[in-house]
A and B are shown apart, each in its own frame.
Chain A
Amino acid sequence: MSKSGMMRREERIGYLFIAPFLIMFAVFKLYPMIYGFIVSFWDRNSEMKLMDTTFVGFDNYISVLTNHSFWEAFGHSIVFSVIYIAFLMVFGFILAVILNRNFMGRTAVRTCFYIPYVTNMIAVGIVFKYLLNPSRGPVNAIFRMFGADGPRWFSSPTLALPTAAIVAAWAALAFHIITCLAALQDIPQDVYEVAEIEGATFMQKIRYIVLPFLTPTLFMLLTITLINSFRNYTAIVGLTGGGPGTSSKVVSLLIYDDAFNFMKFSIASAEGVIFTLFIIIVNRIFTKARSVWESR
């Protein structure tokens, strides 16, 4: 058998192996994405039958972009993302550095940090709503011991969104710790030894050894975290339900409400498309920043 013939056969078998994924992807991801995009140009904003739908051009986009509720939710999504990303990047790195050192019970501590990552977000929500209950929760009981009332975490219009972002970030922290830890362990030991001989302090080692070695990993984590930060529907539903009032209503919740509570599928699709475009743009900016950084 010729070499090229063998390659073609191998290619065919390769395609056969990836076919299940491709079929699933096409049915459950690609088709809904394309369909959602098309629907955003239709007037599919009631329970009317599919055949009765008409093409309305950019009307749904104009309607979304001139809607106060959309911009309010958009702002909340940005606030959520900024807090979520900052918490994960900072604490993920710090905890990885701590867990990279030798101490007794290190494995047990690492396992403890991993548990929230495999816990259902709704369960996390129930636990935190109990812990942070202003009148009967143990956290505010500590405040009361010192004569203070303590914050109204999820029921305060100003605190609900940041609290939800921090709880969601806490639940996702393990991924950052593990990824940073793996990168830390790739740093050659002799680099530390040289720094030790030169009399470098702990902070100098972090600045001149750890951070430069970890930069590609941190950029990769930043990109993943950015995307994940916008996938916040479960966290918000489980923790605040978008309230009090609309103070923690994010775009994902708005899209769900418009589509499934109000049957405004075209409006919801337009909101989804606009928000996806925004995520793509921000992601491109991050990627560009990364390449500029790496070329320095």
Chain B
Amino acid sequence: MKRIIVALLAMAMICTSVFAMGSAEEPASDYDRVVTTTVTATYLNETWFNTMNADFEKETGIHVEVIPVPGDEDEYKAKINIDLMAGSDVDVVETLGPKDFSRQVSAGFFMPLNDVVEAAGIDPYALYGANLPVEDDGNYYALPFKQEMYCVFYNKAIFDEAGVPYPEGPWTWDEYVETAQKLTDKSKGVYGSLMNADLPWMYMPAQQLAIPFYKEDGTCNFDDPAFREAAEWFKYISNDLGVQPSVAELEAEAANWNYYALEGYRLAMFPQGNWFTRLLNSQEDYPKDWNYGVAPLPSAGENGNNNLVSLGYVAINKNAAHPEEALEYTLWIAENQWKYEGGIPAFATMTEEQQQLAFGSIAEASHGQVTVDDLYQNLINTGLGAVSSDIVGTAAAEYYNIVKEELSSYNMDLQDIDTAISNIVTRVNEAIASAE
């Protein structure tokens, strides 16, 4: 008897240990049709995300089963790619930024949408214009569901104290720096500007000039003089001119934008994407005793009248378990997610009603700090063209990382600009050759 009890206990230990590894129990559902989507686990705490899915379920009768991925956005990207490589049958995948999206498309993760979208009576070319990610093979493997644009947010209190008029567009980087100089008062801990020691800020003007990252033969084009000039300019305004914290200070913080802009320093102007309004309006999480304003991104000269734009894409997995439901969800997300998330839709043009919807909630949450018109005029109606804020092409992730490492070393006086550019070109070309 004793032996039997011992054996049973041992078996129980094995079973509980092995089977406790986890098989998620599927929630009971009243819906006949299901679509699965995978997102970072943080989305589950977002009211807009849950409301959006509830509305989709109500409208279509399709239950949205969310598969959360623990970790931040970078971890999510790595995990979802591995999952897709392993043949996951999750239906719908959202990707932020063309850099990751192009890698996923070339890996063949997604199904082409041309036929199914057009069969659904939608003309995506008219609806999304240049934002539709048409590939070299003539197919598009995703629909854009939102766009992030850059602008300059500013602290009105610092401008008022210094008696400097609020910035207005159109303006240039020279005017931006001139304004930042007038506002900088280190005795009061005030810096006129903050551009993070990160990409794309470390070479932003070159990107506005639409200088390609790759030469025609596919090799690295970072030796273009425009990149060098932009990198030198960033170092000059940070380390020499002192209108913003030095690169050493920024490296020492290694913190997020919200820390710099809202808690760490008194910063007058900070060029950022429109997503930043979520922090600026969140008085509960990021309390501040000043009002903010918004100005357009400065131009980089006659040929640099461009804003940097990053798109979010929604795609259907090639191995989707529920392709029909996935299409319905994808179309719905592309059309509606921006309304819930509080972003800018990726449509080619925006009606007045859409402007009101896109910016109305931001303006309302700002409690009068910015109006719908402020946002529209300084983000959309700027007279600026659009270029991608990401490096898109072969070995893009390595390219990004190498540029960041080498320019960071340059900004920390570990190497001169010639060595930095030469290292970037050599290392990126190696990465491109390896990827090819």
Contacts and interface: CB of A to CB of B under 8 A. Distances in A.
Interface of A: 9, 13, 16-17, 19-20, 23-24, 45-50, 63, 69, 129, 132-136, 152-157, 240-241, 243-247, 249, 257, 260-264
B170 interface: no
Contacts of A261: 74, 78, 397, 401
Contacts of B78: 260-261
Residue of A49, A154, A243, A244 most packed against chain B (CB within 10 A): A244
B104 A47 contact: yes
Interface string B259-300: 000001000000000000000000000000000000000000
9 contacts: A16-B14, A24-B17, A45-B435, A48-B85, A48-B107, A129-B253, A133-B252, A135-B249, A263-B397
Interface residues of B, number: 45
A16 B108 contact: no
Contacts of B249: 134-135, 155
A157 B10 contact: no
B126 interface: no
B405 interface: yes
Given A16-B14, A154-B252, A261-B401, A47 B74 contact: no
A245 B408 contact: yes
A244 B239 CA distance: 15
Contacts of A246: 405, 409
A133 B248 CA distance: 10
A45 B434 contact: yes
Given A154-B251, A260-B82, A262-B401, 4 more contacts: A16-B14, A48-B85, A129-B255, A246-B409
Nearest to B430: A67
A243 B252 CA distance: 10
B254 interface: yes
A64 to B, nearest CB: 11
Nearest to A137: B252
B397 A262 contact: yes
Contacts of B82: 260
B11 A243 contact: no
A279 to B, nearest CB: 25
Given A23-B14, A260-B78, A50 B251 contact: no
Nearest to A140: B252
Contacts of A19: 10, 14
B107 A47 contact: yes
Contacts of A136: 264
Given A245-B409, A261-B78, A134 B248 contact: yes
Interface of B: 3, 6-7, 10-11, 13-14, 17-18, 74-75, 78, 81-82, 84-87, 103-104, 106-109, 248-249, 251-255, 264, 395, 397-398, 401, 405-406, 408-409, 412, 414, 427, 434-435
A120 to B, nearest CB: 15
A157 B409 contact: yes
**Chain A contact residues: helix, strand, loop or mixed:** loop
Nearest to B10: A16
Contacts of A249: 405
Nearest to B17: A20
Contact of A244 (B3, B85, B255, B414): B414
B323 to A, nearest CB: 19
Contact of A23 (B10, B18, B84): B18
B185 to A, nearest CB: 16
A243 B251 CA distance: 8
A20 B21 CA distance: 12
B412 A245 contact: yes
A172 B286 CA distance: 34
B252 A134 contact: yes
Given A49-B85, A49-B108, A262-B397, A16 B18 contact: no
Contacts of A16: 7, 10-11, 14
B3 to A, nearest CB: 7
A264 B85 CA distance: 13
B252 A17 contact: no
A240 B255 CA distance: 11
A244 B409 contact: yes
Contacts of A129: 252-255
Nearest to B413: A157
Contacts of B397: 261-263
A275 to B, nearest CB: 20
A154 B107 contact: no
Contacts of B13: 17, 20
A48 B104 CA distance: 9
Contacts of A244: 248, 251, 408-409, 412, 414
Contacts of B75: 260
A63 B18 contact: no
A23 B316 CA distance: 37
Contacts of A48: 85, 107
Contacts of A9: 3
A246 B423 CA distance: 13
Contacts of B405: 243, 245-246, 249
